[in-house]
Amino acid sequence: MNKPPRRRAVVTGLGAVTPLAIGAEESWQKLCRGESGVSRITKFDPSDYKVQIAAEIKGFHPEDFMDRKKARRTDPFIQYTLVAAQMAMDDSRLIVDDSNCHRIGVVLGSAAGGMATYGQNLFALRDEGPDKVSPFFIPGFLANMAAGEVAMAVGLRGPSKCVVTACASSGHCIGDALRLIQWGEADAMIAGGGDAYVLPIAIAGFDKMRALSRRNDKPEKASRPFDMDRDGFVTGEGAGTIILEEMEFALRRGARVYAELVGYGSNIDGIHITEPDSKNQGFCLTLALHDAGVSPDELDYVNAHGTSTVLNDICETEAIKTALGDHSRRIPVTSNKSMIGHLLGGAGAVEAVFTVLSIRDGIIPPTINYDTPDPRCDLDYVPNTSRRGNIDTVLKNSFGFGGANAALVFKKFKD
């Protein structure tokens, strides 16, 4: 039996809560100006920690977006994701009602779910006994509850999934949402994810792995992907979502289209829990390009994972060379994490939002803090200043602990 042709999926809405701003547009403008969202930690006293910096969400008050009761019972990772999803829905002007709710779904991920809620209830159990554990403990920390809360808030009845693949989570969410639309199982999807990891246990744990920057004296200089003097990533928090719609569904309702999502690649290194493998990462990028029907020389820009760790940046550079060949020497490659830190499960989605806006505006935001070239990282990383140009096709990379790899290909929409 011949399969029906795959349906096309377009991006019609964007939402983001980031260390730069509450909202996609303001975050994007600051990103293009090269502003850093990294500062000394304020959510707890970091004086006894070797790492005292993070990319925190600033000025976020959940009661501005939801009633006080919901704000009290939801973890920050749910709050960030819920707000980003509502922003994306408002941006898309997609109306959900009884006529379409069963054809609209949600795929939202997180690296670990409600870590803050888990910690609070663990301490309550230890210090005061089982009666002090909140009845909202379980729904507050489960990773899939961001998807559940969004579905309830919007009134969705279509497919619902949560992907947990560490730092690749929301990249996989967007790719899986694409497949649901391509295969005809949904007409529109809310896709992305978020995390709220600026917590004592997370900072201590990542630092014990020697994964974090200890540049406490100059927080804004700490995240420096691909730079010779990088010494680790900076933990960030936030959420990003995009609205994906089947092309005809979007056009029939007169939707404004930002870009088209044309390709998705996914694989696993299967070698080591934390050390990446450039060969398999490169194969993931090749899978995405093949899925999109795009040759390497058609790409205009690579939005990198770019964590600012010594090994990861070298491996990603090699992966890009493996997938793009000679074209890798001519294509701009940048890391948004130089300004927003590493949003973990939310990283891929927030960076996908920025990728789409790059296509819209013809702007490649810089990799800031790139001062000293590393001979092992020898591509064009667009140092410190944004660059303008025609951006038609972009590759977005996401890689996670456990060897999880995801790659997306976005393209300027042409009906």
Task: Report, as residue numbers or ranges, the catalytic residues.
Answer: 167, 305, 342
Rounded distance, CA 161 to CA 143, Å? 10
Q: Please answer whether residues 362 and 217 qualify as being in contact, where contact means their C-beta atoms are separated by less than 8 angstroms.
A: no
Q: What are the phi and psi torsion angles at 56 (to 5°)?
A: -85, 155
DSSP class of residue 220 equals: G
Cα of 301 vs its chain's centroid, Å: 17
- Whole-angstrom Cα distance, residue 112 to residue 144? 10
Distance CA 396, CA 410 (A): 8
Output phi, psi for 371, to 5 deg: -115, -35
Per DSSP, 64 falls in state: G
Sign of CA dihedral 396, 231, 41, 338: negative
Q: What one-letter code names the amino acid at 356? A: V
**Cross-strand bridge partners of residue 107:** 161, 191
The continuous run of DSSP H or E covering 214 comes out as none
> CA 23, 361, 397, 373 torsion: positive or negative?
negative
* Residue 105 · residue 97 · CB < 8 Å: no
- Between vectors from CA 264 to CA 257 and to CA 301, what angle results, nearest 5°? 70
DSSP string, 385-396: S-EE----EEEE
Angle at 169 between CA 250 and CA 402, to 5 degrees: 150
Quick one: how far is CA 102 from the chain centroid? 26
Contact yes or no for 146/77 (Cβ under 8 A): yes
In angstroms, the CA 33 to CA 43 distance is 26
Rounded to an integer, what distance in angstroms lies between the CA atom of residue 232 and that of residue 50?
13
Query: CA-to-CA distance for 237 and 57, rounded, in angstroms?
Result: 6
Is-contact 364 382, C-beta < 8 A?
A: yes
